[in-house]
Amino acid sequence: MPEFSNHVEQAKRNLNFLEQINKSIPNNWDWQVTVGFYAGVHLINGHIAKKENKHYQSHERVDQAINLYSACPAKLPQDIYLAYQKLQNLSKRARYLCHDDPAQKGKTQKFTYLTSETHFVKSLMQLEKIITYFEKEYDETLPSIELNCGALQSLQLSHFKYFSLSIVEPSQITVAANS
For 119, phi then psi, to 5°, come to -65, -40
Q: Where are the domains of the chain?
A: 4-100+113-172
Report residue 171's pLDDT band, with 50, 70 and 90 as the boundaries. low
Q: Is pLDDT of 3 > 80? A: yes
Which amino acid appears at position 149 of this protein? Answer: C
d(CA 72, CA 97): 33
Q: Which residue has the higher pLDDT, 101 or 63?
A: 63
Residue 66 · residue 49 · CB < 8 Å: no
**pLDDT by residue (tens digit) across 27-45?**
899 999 999 999 999 999 9
Identify the pLDDT of residue 106: 55
d(CA 162, CA 101): 33
**pLDDT by residue (tens digit) across 64-112?**
999 989 899 999 999 999 999 999 999 999 888 755 445 555 555 555 5
**Residues 6 or more apart whose Cβ sits within 8 Å of residue 84:** 40, 44, 66, 76, 126, 130
For 90, phi then psi, to 5°, come to -65, -35
4-100+113-172 falls under which CATH superfamily? Answer: Nucleotidyltransferases  domain 2 (1.20.120.330)
Mean pLDDT of 49-59: 94
